[in-house]
Structure 1
Amino acid sequence: MLYAIAVLFAFQLLGEFLVRVSGLPLPGALVGTLLLLIGLLFYKRLPKPLEDTAQVLLQNMMLLFIPVIAGVMLEFGHLRREWLPFVLACVAGAAITFTATALTFRFFLQRQRTLQSSNKDNDERTPEQEQPA
């Protein structure tokens, strides 16, 4: 687990470094996460310690939001003055996330059905059908 946490922090640190050096208008944690994704795509598998650590983090995700919520409460006066853009951003962000999730889910369901039907077609062929004429 220590290995996986070190890897996660290393990628976040690398992302922070790249943002500061390049001046990208993105959060360093996001850049680090994208670098981790690219690394895992090249590695072509998820290491078991990283998977286990990610599972623990996901199970305790609400604890990770406490500092964010506290930060929002510290800026409550600013939010009171600028509530409309905040509410619009929250609603639009939720709508975009919901739509992207639904479209992704639909894509993978259709892909799974296509794969299942092609496997079913292959299983139903008789040996005479598979031999060249």
Structure 2
Amino acid sequence: MKYIHQFLIIITISFMGELLSILLPLPIPASVYGLIIMLICLFTKIIKLNQIEDVANWLIIIMPLLFVPSAVSLINVADTLLQDILIISVITLVSTIIVMVVTGKIAQLIIERKEQNKNG
């Protein structure tokens, strides 16, 4: 019963993200809305981590299996992808570098703030 309750919490948050995506005329995917709602709920302690942790960890473990159908469907559009392979490669490389730099800078800021809080 515990796992069903945890799964229902996650599904409810996901559904709320879907509703926001329909109601708000912004080009933001429903999954992003769901993640933001979950983040807010966790930070404000509306949802405590132990209320979803077990099922969330299980979903992370099976995540690669969830991408298999998407990867297989790429075979259907292989010709189109091969025509634009250079553009796709450049975009992937540049966006990966940007994500790495931004993530590194944010990690540095967090570490510096923690050190300031310890010393200050």
Work out whether residues 41 and 47 of structure 2, in 8 Å CA contact, stay in contact via their aligned partners in 1. Answer: no
Deviation string 1:50-101 (CA, Å, 9 cap, x unpaired) is 1222222223332232233223333212211222332222112211221122
User: Given residue 4 of structure 1, which amino acid in structure 2 is its aligned partner?
Assistant: Q
1:63 aligned residue: 65
RMSD, aligned CA:
2.2
Aligned to 2:116: 114
1:6 corresponds to which letter in structure 2? L
Pick one of 37, 42, 45 that aligns with 2:44. Answer: 42
Q: Tell me the equivalent position of 2:11.
A: 9
Q: TM-score, normalised by structure 1?
A: 0.72
Identity across the alignment (%):
20
Gaps of 5+ in 2: none
Give me the whole-angstrom Cα distance separating, in 2, the residues matched to 1:89 and 1:51.
34
User: What are the residue-to-residue correspondences of 1:19-30 with 2, within 5 Å?
Assistant: 19-30=21-32
Unaligned regions of 5+ residues in structure 1, if any? 119-133
Distance 1:68 1:33, change over 3 A: same
Q: Secondary structure at the match of 1:24?
A: coil
Larger RCO, structure (CA 8 Å, separation 6 or more) = 2
Work out the CA distance in 1 between the residues paired with 2:102 and 2:5: 33
Structure with max Cα Rg: 1
Alignment of 1:83-122 (within 5 A): 83-118=85-120
